């Protein structure tokens, strides 16, 4: 555990800049975000449901996920957290966490005190809006996931999640056009799309057999993007990645 005043949080900056141009002072604030940086092993909780955190965590590298656990002990992953994400930004205004956040692969995580964030929001209204916006995009993703598990069949569900992951990774510079590292296990996919690991396995094989993807070890290659998109009924609009245009 070490303190750092020059953390490499360029994924977050990159995400925000894809939305609007940062002024020099705004960019500087982000580049010098005071945070406590920590390395965390795979499969560890970063924060837990019920916690009342006084800081938010920024994923600097690695894969994490937000999840809830059923009374019966079943786990639902409600979101994959990628570098540049601040998966518990909500705790700035909601005191008690209603989800846990855990690592999937080894991660580097930066913890930013809420006071710091509040201070920034006060002084840089555009950054406040940008943070708010980030939480709204999270919400949009949750909505799409409700639809995914509620209305689509297994085959479509996986196709959809794979599409989402590839596009989001691309947005933070962690994917080539049609390939990316993806250290997500079939069991984790299962918990994310509400199927069993057995069934996930079978659906993945079908995707492979149909020539849509190649998925081996931690590596995903999309062989036929159009077909994969079609299979998952994937329309990236809900990710709100497009630049803010002047309103009509």
Partner DNA sequence: CGAATTGTTGACATACCTCAAGCCCAGTGG
Partner DNA sequence: CCACTGGGCTTGAGGTATGTCAACAATTCG
Binding site for DNA (CB under 7 A): 43, 153-155, 185-187, 194-199, 201-205, 217
Placement of tokens 């309103």 in the chain: 247
Please choose which of DNA, a copy of itself, none residue 198 contacts, taking the beta carbon within 5 to 8 angstroms, the exact cut-off set by kind.
Answer: DNA
Q: Please say which residue, 181 or 224, places its beta carbon nearer to DNA.
A: 181
CB 201 within 8 A of CB 187: no
Partner from a copy of itself, DNA, none binding residue 144, C-beta < 5-8 Å depending on class: a copy of itself
Q: 151 contacts which partner out of DNA, a copy of itself, none, CB within 5 to 8 A by kind?
A: a copy of itself
Binding partner selected for residue 186 from a copy of itself, DNA, none, CB under the kind-specific 5 to 8 Å limit: DNA
Residue 198 binds to a copy of itself (criterion: CB under 8 A): no
* 245 binding partner (options DNA, a copy of itself, none; Cβ < 5 to 8 Å by kind): a copy of itself
**CB-count burial class (<10 Å; 0-12, 13-18, 19+) for 225:** middle
Distances (CA, A) of 22 to 14, 30, 31, 107, 145: 10, 10, 11, 27, 31
CA atoms of 128 and 215, how far apart (whole Å): 39
Residue closer to DNA (CB basis): 10 or 185: 185
Mapped onto helix, strand or coil, the DSSP state of residue 3 is: strand
Between residue 120 and residue 139, which ones bind a copy of itself under the rule CB under 8 A? 122, 125, 128-129, 132-133, 135-139
| The token pair that represents 166 in the structure block | 């590839």
Cα-Cα-Cα-Cα torsion 12, 242, 90, 57, nearest 10 degrees, comes to -20
Residues from 74 through 93 that contact a copy of itself (CB under 8 A): 74-76, 78-79, 90, 93
């Amino acid at each position: 555990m070490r303190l750092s005043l020059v953390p490499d949080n360029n994924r977050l900056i990159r995400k925000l800049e894809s939305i609007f141009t940062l002024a020099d002072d705004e960019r500087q604030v982000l580049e010098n975000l005071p945070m406590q940086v920590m390395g965390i092993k795979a499969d560890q909780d970063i924060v837990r449901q019920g916690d009342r955190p006084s800081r938010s965590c920024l994923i600097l590298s690695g894969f994490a996920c937000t999840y809830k656990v059923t009374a019966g002990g079943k786990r639902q992953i409600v979101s994959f957290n990628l570098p540049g994400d601040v998966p518990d930004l909500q705790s700035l205004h909601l005191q008690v966490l209603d989800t846990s956040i855990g690592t999937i692969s080894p991660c580097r995580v930066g913890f930013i005190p809420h006071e710091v964030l509040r201070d920034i929001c006060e002084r840089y209204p555009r950054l406040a809006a940008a943070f708010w916006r980030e939480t709204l995009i999270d919400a949009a993703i949750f909505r799409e996931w409700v639809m995914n598990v509620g209305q689509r069949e297994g085959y479509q569900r996986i196709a959809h999640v794979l599409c989402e992951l590839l596009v989001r990774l691309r947005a933070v510079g962690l994917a080539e056009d049609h390939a990316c590292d993806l250290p997500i296990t079939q069991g984790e996919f299962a918990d994310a799309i509400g199927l069993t690991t057995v069934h996930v396995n079978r659906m993945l094989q079908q995707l492979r057999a149909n020539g849509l993807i190649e998925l081996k070890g931690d590596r995903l290659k999309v062989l036929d993007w159009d077909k994969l998109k079609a299979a998952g009924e994937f329309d990236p609009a809900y990710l709100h990645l497009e630049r803010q245009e002047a309103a009509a």
